[in-house]
Amino acid sequence: MQILDGKALAKKIEQNVANEVVKLKDETGRTPGLAVVLVGSDPASQAYVNMKKRACDRAGFYSITHEMPETISQDAIEETIKMMNQNPNIDGILVQLPLPPQIDTTKILELVEPSKDVDGFHPYNVGRLVTNLDGFVPCTPLGVMELLAEYNIDVKGKNCCVVGASNIVGKPMANLLLNANATVEICHIFTDDLKKHTLQADIILVGVGVINLIKEDMVKDGAIIIDIGINRADDGKLVGDVDFEKVSQKCSYITPVPGGVGPMTISMLLSNTLKSAKLRSSENN
């Protein structure tokens, strides 16, 4: 069994991005800019945003966080996004989810300029992903593909079981695998007999937020396990959706939690923002 070390790869990608930023600044005078919208005081969301901010600082980005109270109105968020859409110094706009119940999340995500949608959530970018055209791809599934590539794991022709059908992880993950010529099955909360599906899989990719959902009897010998889940156990430890201790004894490769997919998500955000900045600078020259 080999560990898929997302932490080490993310560090390498971040360094490459930082080098590219220096080059971009020298050649065009442009500094990539990322703006984050953070609503409310959810500790997990605040922690994520702080991690993203630190990563931006390390990579040499300009970054700004618009912190808003839980009681914020739809109009106020919309005005902020419109302002950022028009700001030439901003290359990427990230709306930290979830938003409070009074906010129409779909409307907010659709308001982000597609060329600044570094999270890949705008329907324009979703459509480009589905049709295998270049655009911005959600950071977590994109990070998974980078991790597989780093370890020379070719998904072509492999049976891949994606557990979870969210717009942020499951659906884009399935589309990326399909675009890479994998055979893809998507399972979700209404799937009858999950074990029947996972046992057939060469690669299991799970991200639903249920501790120990994937157990050793659900995994065939030599399978590749990508654990995208992140949960806090009763003892305070961060754990994934896979029973790591037991499943790791059966599989060929596995991502740890923490240190697997999580760090890749942030490095892909940097990568997407750099891509946006480069596109913007080439349009202006």
Marked catalytic residue, from 91, 116, 117, 119? 119
Marked catalytic residue, from 52, 116, 171, 275? 52
Task: Give the residue among 281, 261, 270 at the shortest CA–CA distance from 9.
Answer: 261
Residue 220 known to be catalytic: no
Residue 234 known to be catalytic: no
Do 91 and 277 meet the contact criterion of CB atoms below 8 Å apart?
yes
Distance of alpha carbon 211 from alpha carbon 268, whole angstroms? 25
Marked catalytic residue, from 96, 158, 227, 241? 96
**What DSSP line would sit under the chain, residue for residue?**
-EE--HHHHHHHHHHHHHHHHHHHHHHH----EEEEEEES--HHHHHHHHHHHHHHHHHT-EEEEEEE-TT--HHHHHHHHHHHHH-TT--EEEEPSPPPTTS-HHHHHHHS-GGG-TT--SHHHHHHHHTT-SS---HHHHHHHHHHHHTT---TT-EEEEE---TTTHHHHHHHHHHTT-EEEEE-TT-S-HHHHHTT-SEEEE-S--TT-B-GGGS-TT-EEEE---EE-TTS-EE-SB-HHHHTTT-SEE--SSSSHHHHHHHHHHHHHHHHHHHHHHHH-
Residue 52 known to be catalytic: yes
Terminus-to-terminus CA distance in the chain, angstroms? 49
The catalytic residue positions are: 52, 96, 119
